[in-house]
Structure 1
Amino acid sequence: MRSSLLRVGVVAGASALVLATMPASLVSASPVTDPPAVDCQSVLAAPTLDAAFDAAAEAADVPSDLLRAVSYMQSRWEGHDGRVSNDGGYGMFNLKSTTTAVPDGAGKGSTDRSPRRTASQLERAAELTGIPASTVRSDDRANVCAAAALTASYAPDLNASTQPQRWTAAIARFGSADTFERQVLTTLREGRARTTSGGETVTLDGDPTVDVAPPSASDPETDCPPDLGCEWIPAGYEKLVPSDPDSTGNYGNHDKADRTGPGGPKLKYIVIHDTETAYDPTIGLVTDPGYLAWNYTIRSSDGHIANHLDPKDVGWHAGNWYVNAHSIGIEHEGWAGSAGWFTEAMYEQSAKLVRHLAHEHDIPLDRAHIIGHDQVPGVTSGATRNVHWDPGPYWDWEHYFDLVQAPIGQSAKNTSSVKAGDVVEVRGGYADNVNTITGCQQASPGSGDCVPGQGTNFVLAYQSPSLEAPLANDPGWKPNGAAGTTYASDISARIQSGHKLVVAEVRDEWLGVWWAGSLVWVHNPATRPVVLRTTAKTVTTTSTTAAPIFGRAYPEPEAYAPYEIPVQSIAPLEYTLGAGQTYAVSDDDVVTDYYYAQSFDGSIPDDRTDVKGELRYYQLWYAHKQVFVKADDVTLLDPGKRAVVPTRLPKITGEAKVGSALTVSNGRWSREVTDFRYTWLVGGRPVAGATGYTFTPRPADAGERVVAVVSVDDPALHPMLAPSLPTAKIQR
C-alpha cells in the first residue's frame, strides 16, 4: 500500500531493507536517506503488464483502472523502449523530463496560486519510488509504478476507493484540465482492450457509472465540432509594410477566398503535417504574418486544437499552390524523423476533427484525399526533391484511419492470392512492421537518433524480386537513377499503407507492380501478406508515347482569356506513365482550375478569381505521391474490367542469330531490337548451358522440336513489356 510519506511528509524507516530487497539494477546510485513513498517490488515482479497495473494501484492506493485509462490515452499501453515522445515524455505514461512552474497549491484544494519550480515528473517519480529516472524511462513496469506514485502524490487526500471523477486534478497533471480529463474519463466509461507490440494484453473493463463532464465548447469562430474544445488563434493576415497601399502584394500569411461558397476553389484534401518544433513555438509561427499559415495545430500531450483559418481561406502550407487552394492543413506537434511517438490523445482529437471536416466539406475519407505532406507532388520538373516528407515513417496511418472510422481496407483480409491485373491496397501493419531507418536527427533536427526495431507505416519496393536487391528508384527524388535508401527523408521506395497498386506479375512471394515509371517488387509472403485485393479504376497509355505526369491540374490557356490573369504553364514533372504501364486512379473527378490571389485587399483586376478550365485530368496513385495525368493521354478502365496487362506473349519475329535484328510487337506498337539472348529447348526442355549467341544445338531426335526461347534485353522496352512477357519462342 501507499506509504504515509505521501500524506504526512518524511518519516523514519527501513530504507536499508527496501534497498536490499530491490533489484540492484533499479537502485539509484545516489545515497537514499528516506524510504521510497511507494514500494515497487511487487510491480517490478508482476508476471504480466496487466498484473503490474493492479500491483501498482495497490502499492500507491490509487484506482487501477484509472492508471490504465491515463496510460492508454498517452501511449495505448506502449512503453516505446525508452524513446522520447514528441512532446518530451517517456514510457507508458509519457512522463515528462522537463521542469515546470506551477501554482503551489495546484491539485490540493489550496487557494495559494503563487508559482514555484517543481521537479520534472521523472525526477519526482525517482524520488517517490527510489527507482532511477533512467529506469523509469525504459522499463514498463517501473514506469507504471512511478506513475501510480505520482498520481497518489497529486491527490494525497484520495484513495483507491474514491470515485474516478474525484481524481480529475491528478489526471490533469498528466495532460490538461479539460480535454485530457474528459478523454481519460471517457476511456474509463467505455473500456479498452489491446495487445501491445510486445505481446502483452491489457484489459480495461468499461464502467457506465463514470460521469464525464460536458466538454468545453469550441470557440464560435472555429470550424470544429462544437464539443471538441477548439481554440480560435487567428493566423496573421497583415501587410508586411504597414505604409504600403491596401492593394500591395507584400502581405502574409495566407489568402482570402470563397472555398465554402460558389466562388471556389473547392475543398478536396486534408493534409497531415507535423510541426518540427514544439506547440508553443508553432503558435508563434502561424500568428506571424511574415511566416506561413495552416488551418489547425494540435498539441501532443492532450490533443488540444487551435484553429487559425476560416475554411474559406487558403493557407500556405503544402508547397504546391494547387494543393494549397484545395486543402485544409493540420499541423501535429512532433518531428518527422522521431523514432518516438505521437500520443493517443492527439491521434483521437485529430481523427475527430478530420471526420468532422470531411463530412462538412464533402472530402473523401481515403488515403488519396486525407494525405500526408509527403504525398503532395512537386510543381515542376526538378521540384520534387524540395517537397517535405512529414509526418514521416512513424505516423501510424492504419490506427489513424481506424479512429477516423474509415479503416484501410475495411473488412477485407490481407492475402497472397493475387494475380496479374489485380488492383491491391497495401496494409503493412505498424508495430510489427519494422524497417530500417537511418539519419533521423540529420534529416529532422530535434528528432533524435533512429532506433532499431521501431515500427513503420510502409512496405519497401525493390528493383528485383529479392530482399537483397537494390531499393526502387524514384526519378523525382533521385534523378541520377540511384536506388532508394534507408535515410529518414528518402521516400523513393516506401509504399505506405492505403496506397493502391496494379499488379503486373506474380513470382512466388513477390508482386511486380508499377511504381514511379518502372516495375518494382513488393514482398508479399503467405505467412505475412501485406496487401489486400481491392477495386479501382485504372489508366494505361493510349499510344507508344509515354504520358506526362503533372503536379497541378491547371486549366488550358484558353480558360484565362476572359481575365487579366497570367496564363499558368502546364509543366510536367520528372515522371511519365510509360507505354504498357497501368496505375490505379484515385480520383476521376479532378477540379481543373487556378486560383488567382495577388493583393492584400483583393482590389487588383480579377483578383481572387478561380479560373476554371475544360481540360480533364485523373488523379493517380503514383510513386509516393498523388499526381495528375491528362485524360486525353490515357485510357480509363472501370473497376469491372481488368487492368491492361498483356495476357499473351508479344510477337517476336526474325532470325535469332548474332548480327540479326528481331522485331518485337504486341499489336499496338513494334520495335526492332538487336540486344537479345536465347536458350535452346530440345523436346521442350532447356539444354544445359545453351544460352547466348554462339551455341549450336545438337540435331533433333525424331519427333523432337528444336526451339529458341528469346529474351529481349533492351532497356528501352522494359517499360513497354510486362516483366514476364519479354520472351517468345521461335521454331528453328
Structure 2
Amino acid sequence: MRPALILATVTGLVLGVTTASADPADQVRQRDFSAAAAEFGVPESVLLGVSYLESKWDTNAGTPSTSAGYGPMHLTDVRTANPGGTHHDDGTEDPRGDDSRPPLAPQPGPPVEPVPQLLTVDQASALTGAPTADLRSNAKQNIRGGAALLAKYQKGIGVTSDNPADWYGAVARYGGAGDTGAAATFADEVFATINTGADRVTDDGQHVRLAATPVQPNTGLLDRLGLRKSTSDDTECPRSLACEWIPAPYEEYVNDKGKLTYGNHDKGNRPETQEIEYIVIHDTEGRWDGVLNMVRDPKYVSWQYTLRSADGHVAQHVKHKDVAWQAGNWYINSKSIGLEHEGFAALGTWYTEAMYRSSAKLVRYLAAKYRIPLDRAHIIGHDNVPGTIPDTVKGMHWDPGPYWDWAHYFDLLGAPLRPMGNLGLVTIKPDFDKNKPVFVGCVKPGEPCTPRGSTSVILHSQPDANSPLLKDPGLRPDGSPGTMQISDHSSRVETGQQFAVAEVRGDWTAIWYLGQKGWFHNPRKAPAAIGSGGLVVTPKKGKATVPVYGRAYPEAAAYPSNIPVQDVIPLQYTFSAGERYSVGQALTSEYYWANTFDSSNHAVVRGKTKYVQVQFGHRIMFVKAEDVDVKPSFSR
C-alpha cells in the first residue's frame, strides 16, 4: 500500500470517518431516522410512518404546529407555543350574518389547562436526556425523542417484537387520542402510509424515503391501551373515519337585555328545502378543548365539524340538515357545511398531515353525498366568503390563511389541480414549498413572519415587483394600496382560484381582480399559475358598470307579508365594461327565514332573480344574471 494511502486510511480511522462512505448532505435526515430506530428498538418503517403523518418529515423552521407540536416527530410543548385566543379574534364578523337579527358578540370561555398530550416534549426529555429546547429545534434530537416515546408505549403494551405489525398499539397511543375510534383512525393511516410508501424532499432539503412495506397490523393491540370505547352512531361521517358526536346546543335562554332568545344554530331540513352548495374550510384560532367549550355555548357560534390537529380526530356538532352560525354570511351559512380545523392562521403555524387526510376523507364524503363539485368555487375558505353589505366587508374573517396547502388538499381529495391549456383563464398554483411571500405580523405587529411555504400569490399594480399592491376599497376605505400584513388580502390570490387573464407581458401575467389589473410574476420555468378554461362573465352590452353583491337574495316582491324584506344591497366594488371574471356557478335567489326557536315558523323565500357566482377578488361574489353575459373564457 502506498504511504499516502496508508496515511489517509489511518487518519480516517483515527477520526472515525471514511470519506468514501459518508452520506450525501441531503441524506442526513434519513440517517437520523435509521439511527434513532436502532437506538430505541423501533422498526424504522414505523418511525418513518408516524413522522410522515405528523409532519411529512419537515422541520417547519422550528415553529410549532397548530396543536403545539415541534419537529419531524411532532413533540408537543404548549407552554412554549402560543396558546391562541378566542375564536377568530381578529375581526368584527358576526358569525350568523343575518340582518334580520341582532349581531352576535363573542363569548370567550375560561382558560384551558394544558393536557398531557400537549406536553410530550417533557416525556421525551426524560427518556433521552436531551433538553426540551433541543427536542423542539434540533431535528436529530426530535427524532430520537419520538422514537423513545414509541418504545415506551410499546413497552407499556407488553409486547417485544421487531415486526412492524406488532407496533399498532404504540402507534395508536402516539396520536394522543383518548378513545379507540380516534386512536385507530390515526394508526390505520400510519400503516396505510407504510404499505404504500412515501418519498419526498423536506422543507429544508432533505431527501427521505419510506419504502413500501406490506404490513397487516395487529389491530387487536388497540384493546391494551385502556382507552374509552367510541361510538359514531349519531354522526354523519364516512365509515373510514372515526367521528365523535359532541352536540352544539339548540336551546332558549334569557340574554343580557332580559329577552328570551336562543342559540347556537337554526333547525332546518336540508337538502330538501335548500341545496347544500358549499363546504367552508375554517381554522379554530384556539386549541381543541377550548374550541369544544365554545361550540357547547348556546349564546354564540356553531359549525358542523371540528378536526383535531395531532391525530386528525373529528367531532360533529350540528347535523347537515341544520344551519350552523359559522361563516359570517347568512346566505352562505344556509347553503353550506362548516369544518373547523384546529389551528391559527395569523401565527404561521403548520397543519399536520393527519388532519389534512381526515379532512379530505370527510369532504370527499360530503361532496359525494350532496353532489358538490370538488373545485374552489364550492370548496372555499372562510377567507373566500364575501361580506354581506359594504359595512361588513372589512370585518370578515380570513382563515385558514395563506399557509393552508390547497394544492395538497385537492390532491388528497382526488381532484388535483391540472392545466387545461391557455383558454383565457389561469388557476393559481405556485410551488408551495418554494413560494414564501414575506408576510408581517404573524406574532407581533410589523415583525416579519417566519418564512414558510404558502399558497398565496401577491398581485402588483404593474408588471414590476417594486410596484404598489392593488387597492381594496372594502378592506382599505382610505384608498391606500394593500400591504403584506398577514391578514390583509387586498392584493392576494390563493391556490385553486381561477381568474380571467387580462394581459401578458413576458414573465408577468395580469388578471382581473376587484375592477383592476393585478400583475403576478409567472415565468415558464417556475409558474405561479397554470392555464385553464371555463366560463366568464362580462357586463351586458350598453352597461358601463354592473353591481356586485355579497349574497344572492330575492327581489322584494318574492317575500310573503309575514317575512320582512331583506334589502339587496350592492358592495362597494365596481365591475366595469371590458373586465372579465370567472364563473363559479349559477344560483337561484333564496333567503332562509329562521329567526324563531319554533322551527315550524321557518321558511325559504325564493325569487325570480337569478345570480352568477364569480371570482371577483380574494372572495367570491355575486352578480345578477340579467346584468351580464356568460361566455366561454376563450371568446372575445
Q: Residue 76 of structure 1 corresponds to which residue in structure 2?
A: 56
Query: In structure 2, how many angstroms separate the alpha carbons of the residues matched to 1:368 and 1:118?
Result: 37
Q: Does 1:338 align with 2:347?
A: yes
The secondary structure found in structure 1 opposite 2:152 is: helix
* CA displacement, residues 497-541 of structure 1 (integer Å, 9 cap, x when unaligned): 111111121111111211011112111112211111111111111
Distance 2:188 2:277 in 1: 32
Verify: 1:593 aligned to 2:602, yes or no. no
Normalised TM-score (structure 2): 0.84
Residue 287 (structure 1) aligned with residue 281 (structure 2): no
In structure 2, what is the equivalent of residue 317 of structure 1?
Answer: 326
Cα 1:196–1:118 shift into 2, 3 Å: closer
- Contact 2:37/2:147 (8 A) holds in 1: yes
Does residue 481 of structure 2 align to residue 483 of structure 1?
yes
Does 2:495 match 1:497? yes
SS at match of 1:250: strand
Q: 2 CA distance for matches of 1:465 and 1:218?
A: 56
Distance 1:627 1:430, change over 3 A: same
Structure 1 letter corresponding to 2:235: T
Residues 118 and 224 of structure 1, relative CA distance in 2, 3 Å threshold: closer
TM-superposed CA distance for 1:205, in Å, is 2.0
Write the distance in 1 (CA, Å) between the matches of 2:493 and 2:66: 24
Alpha-carbon distance in structure 2 between the residues aligned to 1:281 and 1:119: 13
Q: Which deviates further from its counterpart, 300-309 or 179-188?
A: 179-188
State yes or no: 1:195 paired with 2:195: no
Are the structure 2 counterparts of residues 46 and 389 from structure 1 closer, same or farther at C-alpha, using a change threshold of 3 Å? closer
Distance 1:425 1:120, change over 3 A: closer
Write out aligned runs for 1:228-267 (5 A). 228-241=241-254, 250-261=261-272, 264-267=273-276
* Structure 2 residue aligned with 1:105: none
Deviates more, 1:200-209 or 1:43-52: 43-52
Q: Secondary structure at the match of 1:407?
A: coil
Q: In 2 relative to 1, CA 500–143 (structure 1 residues): closer, same or farther, beyond 3 Å?
A: same
For the structure 1 residues 450 and 123, does the alpha-carbon distance in structure 2 shift closer, same or farther, using more than 3 Å as the test? farther
Distance 1:359 1:591 in 2: 22
Shift of residue 442 of structure 1? 5.1
Is the 8 Å Cα contact of residues 304 and 338 (structure 2) preserved in structure 1?
Answer: yes
Aligned to 1:52: 32
Say whether the 8 Å CA contact 2:548–2:621 is kept in structure 1. Answer: yes
Deviations 1:475-506 (A, max 9, x none): 21112221111111101111101111111211
> Which residue of structure 2 lines up, in the alignment, with residue 554 of structure 1?
553
One-letter amino acid matched to 2:264? N
Q: Deviations over 1:13-55 (max 9, x none)?
A: xxxxxxxx99xxxxxxxxxxxxxxxxxxx99999432222112
Query: Who is 1:629 aligned against?
Result: 623
One-letter amino acid of the counterpart of residue 545, structure 1: A
Cα distance in 1, alignment partners of residues 435 and 537 from structure 2: 30
- For the 8 Å contact 2:70–2:136, the answer to whether it is kept is yes
Q: CA deviation at 1:564?
A: 1.3
Question: Where does 1:264-663 land on structure 2 (aligned, <5 Å)?
Answer: 264-409=273-418, 412=419, 422-441=424-443, 451-542=449-540, 543-560=542-559, 562-587=560-585, 589-602=586-599, 607-639=601-633, 641-642=634-635, 644=636
Aligned-pair CA distance for 1:130: 3.5
Distance 1:312 1:167, change over 3 A: closer
Structure 2 distance, partners of 1:66, 1:344, is 16
**Number of paired residues?**
566
Higher deviation after alignment, 298-307 or 180-189: 180-189
Structure 2 regions of 5+ residues with no counterpart? 1-14, 17-21, 80-114, 178-182, 223-228
Contact 1:237–1:251 under 8 Å retained in 2: yes
How much has 1:602 moved relative to structure 2? 2.9
Question: 2:235 matched to 1:222?
Answer: yes
Deviation at 1:58, TM superposition (A): 1.2
**Distance (Å, rounded) in 2 between the aligned partners of 1:193 and 1:85:** 22
Distance 1:44 1:145, change over 3 A: farther
> Following the alignment from structure 1 to structure 2, what is the Cα–Cα distance between the partners of residues 43 and 98?
35
Once the two structures are TM-superposed, the CA of residue 274 in structure 1 deviates from its matched residue by 0.7
* Alignment check: 8 A CA contact 1:43 1:145 kept: no
Write the distance in 2 (CA, Å) between the matches of 1:217 and 1:277.
24
CA-to-partner distance for each residue in 1:347-379, whole Å, 9 max, x for gaps?
A: 100110011001101111111111000000001
Shift of the 158–98 alpha-carbon distance from structure 1 to 2, 3 Å rule, reads farther
Matched, 1:204 2:210: yes
User: For the residues of structure 2 that align with 1:237 and 1:625, how far apart are their CA atoms?
Assistant: 30
Structure (1 or 2) with the greater helix fraction: 2
Return the alpha-carbon distance in structure 2 between the equivalents of residues 496 and 118 of structure 1: 33
CA-CA distance at 1:220 after TM superposition: 1.9
Q: Specify whether residues 271 and 170 from structure 1 end up closer, same or farther in structure 2 by C-alpha distance, changes over 3 A only.
A: closer
Contact 2:46 2:164 in 1 (8 A): no
Distance in structure 2 (CA, Å) of the matches to 1:502 and 1:218: 47
Partner Cα distance (1:569, 1:120) in 2: 51
Q: Decide whether the 8 Å contact of 1:548 with 1:577 is kept in 2.
A: yes
Once the 2 structures are TM-superposed, how far is the Cα of residue 155 of structure 1 from its aligned partner? Answer: 2.5
Give per-residue Cα distances to partners, 1:437-480, cap 9 Å, x unaligned.
1111358xxxx975432111111100111000111111211122
Matched, 1:172 2:170: no
Distance change (3 Å), C-alpha of 1:119 and 1:630 = closer
Contact 2:268–2:599 (8 Å) recurs in 1 = no
Structure ID, larger Rg = 1
Equivalent residue of 2:254, what SS? Answer: coil
CA contact 1:549–1:572 (8 Å) conserved in 2: yes
| Alpha-carbon contact 2:334-2:592 (below 8 Å) kept | yes
| Counterpart-to-counterpart distance in 1, 2:247 and 2:52 | 32
| Offset, 1:428 | 1.1
Any conservation in 2 of the 1:218–1:226 contact (CA below 8 Å)? Answer: no
Report the alpha carbon displacement of residue 175 of structure 1 after superposing the two structures with TM.
Answer: 3.2
- 1:258–1:313 CA contact under 8 A, matched in 2: yes
Contact map agreement 1:43 1:53 (CA 8 A) in 2? no
For the residue of structure 1 that corresponds to 2:394, the secondary structure is helix
Give the structure, 1 or 2, with the largest relative contact order (CA under 8 Å, sep 6 or more).
2
Q: CA deviation at 1:339?
A: 1.7
TM-aligned CA distance change 1:238 to 1:545, over 3 Å: same
| C-alpha separation in 1, matches of 2:319 and 2:123 | 43
Give distance in 1, aligned partners of 2:236 and 2:306. Answer: 13
Q: SS at 2:38's partner residue?
A: helix
Question: Which whole-Å deviations, capped at 9, do the CAs of 1:252-292 have from their partners, x for residues lacking one?
Answer: 0000111122xx22110000111111011111111111111
**Where does residue 67 of structure 1 map in the other structure?**
47
RMSD: 2.7
Counterpart of 2:365, as a letter, is: H
Once the 2 structures are TM-superposed, how far is the Cα of residue 318 of structure 1 from its aligned partner?
Answer: 0.5
Question: Structure 1's 118 and 602: CA in aligned 2 closer, same or farther, altered over 3 A?
Answer: closer
Residue identity opposite 1:594 in structure 2: Y
The 8 Å contact of residues 439 and 488 in structure 1, kept in 2 or not, is answered as yes
Asked if 2 retains the 8 angstrom alpha-carbon contact of 1:594 and 1:612, the reply is: yes
Three-state SS of the structure 2 residue aligned to 1:178 is helix
- Given residue 599 of structure 1, which amino acid in structure 2 is its aligned partner? T
Structure 1 residue runs of 5 or longer lacking an equivalent are 1-20, 23-41, 100-115, 645-732
Q: Quote the offset at 1:198 in angstroms.
A: 2.3
What letter is aligned with 2:516? S
